[in-house]
A and B are shown apart, each in its own frame.
Chain A
Amino acid sequence: MAEKPIIEVQGLTKRFKGLTAVHDVSFSVEKGSITGMIGPNGAGKSTTFNMICGYYPPTEGKIFYNGEDITNKKAYEYTNMKIARTFQIMKPLKNLSVLDNVTAAAYFGHAGAKSEKEAKERAMEVLHFTGLYEKRHVISKDMGTPDQKRLEMARALATKPEVLFLDENMAGLNPAETEEAIQLIRKINESGVTILLIEHIMKAVVSLCEKVIVLHHGEKIAEGTPEQVMNDPYVMEVYLGTKKEGASA
C-alpha cells in the first residue's frame, strides 16, 4: 500500500495581491485512504482545496495526480480524471429535483452516461446508496441542510470518481446527522474511493481520518495520525486552546 500517493501536492502557494493565503504547503494523499485537513478559520484550507480542485491556479507549486502534473487543469476537466468535489457553501441545482440533480451529474465525467436511461439508472443507484431515494422528486431548494449536503455527495458520486474532495461537509449538522454523514463517508471510502476532506468537526476527523494535515496562517504546521496531531503541543495551542483545555480524542 505504500506505493506512489494518488494525490501529491508540492510547495503550493497562493498570493492574492499582497496577501499570502497559502505558503509552501506540501503533502500527499495515499490511495484508498481518508485524509483530513484541519485548521482554524482563515488557515487557508479552502484556498488550498480550491487550488487542488482547479478553481484557481496556484501562484507557485505543483499538484500531481497518479504521478501526472495536473496543476493547470481547469475545474471542469476533473471529473474526466475521476476526481469529484463538493462545496462548502452548498450548490444544489435549486430548481431541479433531487433526481434531476444527480441525473445531470451522471451524464458527465469519465464515465458519462450515453443515454437518458443509463443516466437515470445510475442516478437511482447513487440515490439509494446515499439514502436520498425516497426524496428523489423533491425540488432541491426545498430540502434541509443535511439532505442538501448528501445531495452534494450524491452528485459527486454520480460521476464515478476515484478521488472525492469534501469541503466541510458536516458544517451545520447536529450530532445525529453528523454520525450519519460519517457513516456515509466511510461507506463511500469502503467502496474504493480515496477521500480528502476539510473539516472542523473533530469527532468526524478523529473517527474517519487515517492522516491529518494541520494548516495555520497558510502553512502546514503538523501532519500525522489524528492522535499524533491532537497531541502535538503547537497544534493544541493554536487550534484547540491552551494546553490546559481542549482535551479531546
Chain B
Amino acid sequence: MEVFLQALVNGILLGGFYSLMGMGQNIIFGVMNIVNFCHGEMLMVGMYITYVLYTYFGVDPYVALPIVAVLMFGLGALIQSTLITPSLKTKSFTNLLFLTVGLGLLLTNGALVIFGSTYYKIITPYAQTYIPLGPVTIALPRLISFLILIVVAIALFAFLKYSTTGKQIRAVSQNPIGAEVVGINVKKIYILTYGLGVALAGIAGSLLTQFYTIYPTAGASFGFRALIVVVVGGLGSIPGAFFAGIFLGLLEQMSALFISPSYSDMIVFVTFIIILVVRQVMILRRR
C-alpha cells in the first residue's frame, strides 16, 4: 500500500513538470499553431543556465529562477522575431516544423560544444532533505518545485484570463486576422507568446536541476511528454494541460509500478495514440 501511495505521490510531483511543459507548449501551439519541437531543448537550456549561475556565481537555484525565466523569455523573443515570424509567411507547416527541429539540434549541440557531454549535477545543502508525510516521503526540492509550479500555473491562468495582454493573446489564438483588425499588434503577441512558452520550459528546467542530471539531451523526453500533454489536455487549454500533465506523471509511475519500468514508456505512447485517435473519431462522428 505504501508503495502505491509513494508511486502516486511521485507521479503527481513528476507530472507537475509535464504540466509546466505542456502549458508552455500549449501557449505556443494555441496561438501560433506551430508545434515547438525544441521545447525539450529549451528545458535543457534552462537547466544549464541554472547550473552556470550556481557553479560560477553561487546563486541558489530557486533564487536564480526569475533570472532564468527572464533570460529564456529573451531567447524566445529573439528566436520568434528573427526566425519564426518570417517563416510563418510561407504558411508551410513542414517548414516551421523543421525550423524548430533545427533549433533543437542547434541547442543540443550547442550545449554539447560548450559544456561537453559530462553529466552535471547541482547539489544544494538541502537537496537531500526528505519530508515524511504519513506513509510517504517527499524530497524537499520536489515539494518546493511542485508548489512553485502551482503558483506559476495559477499566475499564468490568471494572466491569460484577466489581464489585457492575456486577453489579447487569447484573441489572437482564436482569430489572428480578426485580432489584427481590432488593432491588436499580432506580431508583438507572437513574440510575447513564444517568449512566454520558452520561459516556462526554462523554469521547468531550472526546477529540475535539483534532482536531475544535466546533460545536452536531458530535455528530449520532457519535450515529447509536453506534446502528449498538449494533445491529451486539449489544444489551447491551460487547465487542460495542467491536469493532463499530472495524469501523465501518474500513468508513468503506475505503469512502472504495476507492469514494468521498461515498458512504461511504451504504455505512455500507446495510451497517447489511443486517446488521440479516439478523440478524432469522436469529432468526426459528431459531424
Contacts and interface: CB of A to CB of B under 8 A. Distances in A.
A127 B49 CA distance: 62
A47 to B, nearest CB: 12
Contacts of B287: 56-57
A56 B285 CA distance: 10
A117 to B, nearest CB: 32
Interface residues of B, number: 2
Contacts of A57: 287
Contacts of B286: 17
Contacts of A17: 286
A208 to B, nearest CB: 32
Contacts of A56: 287
Nearest to B287: A56
Nearest to A17: B286
A133 B64 CA distance: 67
A170 to B, nearest CB: 24
A205 to B, nearest CB: 30
Interface in B78-111: none
Interface in A8-61: 17, 56-57
A56 B287 CA distance: 6
A57 B286 CA distance: 10
Interface string A43-82: 0000000000000110000000000000000000000000
B60 to A, nearest CB: 52
A143 B106 CA distance: 39
Interface in B263-287: 286-287
Nearest to B284: A56
Nearest to A94: B91
A56 B283 CA distance: 12
A115 to B, nearest CB: 31
Cβ-closest 3 pairs across A and B:
A56-B287, A57-B287, A17-B286
3 contacts: A17-B286, A56-B287, A57-B287
